[in-house]
Amino acid sequence: MGLSSQYYVAVDDNARRAPQLANFRFDSTCANAGAAGYISTGLLPLAGDIRGELMIAPAGEITAGYGVNSYWAENGDYLLVALWANEADEDGLVAASERLYRELLGQLTMRGYPHLVRVWNYFADINGEEAGLERYRQFCLGRFDAFAASGIEESQYPSACALGHAGGDVLVYALASKVAPRHFENPRQASAYHYPAEYGPRSPSFARASLLALPGQTAKLFVSGTASVVGYQTLHPYELDAQIDVTLENLDLLLAHVATSTLGVNGTLPELTAEVLKVYVRHPADFEVIQRRVEAAYPDVPAVYVAADICRADLLLEIDGIWNLYP
């Protein structure tokens, strides 16, 4: 089958025995917990019993370890690296972001997994302003500088998301592989790395989705955080129902684009099946409306709804997830 993600209420004995690359906790404060065996996200669930997510690796031995501000696990096919930074110890968010990404890329090189597949970025007060620049734009500047210094080109940018958590450390965690993934853009959206200068001194450095196909395993499509953006502009600022419409439409268009770009040998369309969804909600009062619409669009797909600030102040929700691709 391959890599899989599963949400959990409490980790039962079977889950404990499963080969885990990582255990992510949905909680109220993001803290360096690598030594405790889990990754604290600072994203608090809005309802239901889901308390975390397990990233389960295919059968095989997993080697894992942790440092002062890091956790890593690998099994020969995949490498998961998580890095934390306490902003009080850093010279601003730009410097912290660049350092974390330089360390991340260094770990990939050292451990022999040179290809970034998917990255998750969480930090506090993402829409706040410091020294005349929004914090999300500061983060984008630091990430870009690290990519540029390491020779990472636009065509290699992985799928990614950046959300504002409830407080605590800056967290960056990533999935990498020895096999290069195939990255995709949404035909309805401008590539994030080509946004005009009004969106910051450096454009966001990520792809809209990344497809990883390893021999003998189900191909996985990692979809970036998707919101109500058409071209490069927010559509329907602060309007919840309309933003849900556009977000779901963007997911549909992206998935259709991936499908038509990966036709089988007989020209047949592959099947893309959602495995898990993560829904980021700016205002908890909007949760029930968003949940109803998402469940109607994706019935029976495991989904977690977490409180988070979206990277643009006028966006009310964002959705990402993992899809399985069957030829």
Q: Which residues are catalytic?
A: 318
139 to 94, 97, 144: CA distances (angstroms): 5, 6, 9
Sheet holding 170-177, edge to edge: 63-66, 70-74, 78-85, 170-177, 115-124, 159-165
Compute the C-alpha angle 308/232/236, nearest 5°: 65
d(CA 168, CA 86): 7
d(CA 126, CA 163): 7
d(CA 206, CA 220): 17
d(CA 45, CA 280): 9
Supply φ then ψ for residue 151, to 5 degrees.
75, 20
